[in-house]
Amino acid sequence: MYIYTVGVLGAGTMGAQIAEVVSYAGLPVVVADRQEALAVQGVAGVRRIYQARVDKGKMTPEQLEGKMLLVTASPNLEGLKGVDLVIEAVPEDLALKRQVFQELDHICARSAILATNTSALSISALGAGTTRPGNVIGLHFFNPAYAMPLVEVIPGLATDAHTVEDVVGFAEGLRKTPVVVKECAGFLVNRLLSPYLNEAVWCLQDSGVSLNEIEQDMVSFGMPVGPFALLDSVGLDIALEVARILHRSYGPRMAPAPLLEAMVKAGRMGVKAGQGFYRYGSAETGGVDHGLEDLMQQARQHSGGFRRQWTRARPLLAMVNEAVIALQEGVASARDIDLAVVAGTGFPNEKGGPLHLADQLGIDEVLRQLDKFTESVGIRFWPAPMLRRLVDAGFTGQLAGRGFFPY
């Protein structure tokens, strides 16, 4: 089915970004919310994104007005009655999303696809609450949607194959890079990014090196920003909630760093709160951040003092190991795992992604380091069983001519 018209339910920041992406591709889009004022604000958010393009000389004012003709506001769900695809972008609350999907199921045409932009919740659970589970699917955009090329497409247990094909084609029409991902907690990118970020916080807590040293080391590796600047941008509360979801699903290897929990408890949520690992706006006073120093000292006491050496291998191999576990579980192919991480996190393109990185380092060396970290750091570095099988079979990476990829 070709998708001609789209509805976005939830007129917040992400909803406005998705509506802009859809209208920029030339498709009519209805921005709906429970209140007319919220829907109007969502349309205004779309205009602001286009205005930024005009200000940068990437679009004329006339082109802006032409695109805005494709965007309309609806003060209720009834305005979505005639669309081919609804993309739900309400807050990450399973009960709320279930209620919304049940309402959409009654309102929308039987052929309409109901998609959710959730980053972690169960697609199958949402579909089970409707009479059309075959038409329910995950369509996860990354923030900011107008700049990030990746879109995760997540079928639920009952999602029909033609629904997947239609949504993949739709995403390609938006000039996005869709990756089909098996349903699991955190899906793919968040599942791999979270242990990288969490391990960076563990390193700050237990190694004794400075925040700036860790940031600079990861940027020198090729990351666009350091892990703490990224955490501040994402929001430490959001990062902690994702870590907790993954911890409940996957066990001890995903345990949130105590320093991350302490930061959130202290109200240091990142950019939006004026302070996180860095200080912003009126809170940016220069000099020593005594509040952060106190929280770090408390967390270090939790870890028994400075006991472990900093190496960027810790956060990187936390991501690599999780990528191998995801590959074992059939979450995505090796190619798609690397593609998603590069497109969705800013992982350096020249490194190819976490599985290409493992091949470059040597899978035998990756296994050796993970065994070492398991002894010195803890169980969260327990190697994926697939690594040992590959090493035993001689599939050790580039030098051997075969690893996760052929060479």
**Distance separating alpha carbons of residues 197 and 203, to the nearest angstrom:** 10
Cis peptide before 315 (omega within 30 of 0): no
CA distances from 67 to 27, 48, 62, 270 (A): 9, 12, 9, 33
**Distance separating alpha carbons of residues 366 and 288, to the nearest angstrom:** 37
Asked if 12 contacts 144 with a C-beta cutoff of 8 angstroms, the reply is no
> SS3 for 154?
strand
> What residues pair up with 85 in beta bridges, in sequence order?
6, 113
Q: Is 106 a catalytic residue?
A: no
Which entry of 140, 290, 302, 356 is annotated as an active-site residue?
Answer: 140
Asked if 184 contacts 158 with a C-beta cutoff of 8 angstroms, the reply is no
CA distances from 403 to 286, 371, 381, 389 (A): 48, 19, 20, 11
Q: How far is CA 87 from the centre of its chain?
A: 17
DSSP 275: B
**Distance separating alpha carbons of residues 113 and 67, to the nearest angstrom:** 24
**Distance separating alpha carbons of residues 243 and 257, to the nearest angstrom:** 9
Q: Which two tokens stand for residue 390?
A: 């590959």
**Distance separating alpha carbons of residues 245 and 191, to the nearest angstrom:** 10
> SS3 for 397?
strand
DSSP 119: S
Alpha helices in 303-384 (DSSP H): 313-328, 334-345, 354-361, 363-376
Q: Which two tokens stand for residue 187?
A: 């899906």
Q: Which two tokens stand for residue 324?
A: 């191998």
Query: Which residues are catalytic, by number?
Result: 140
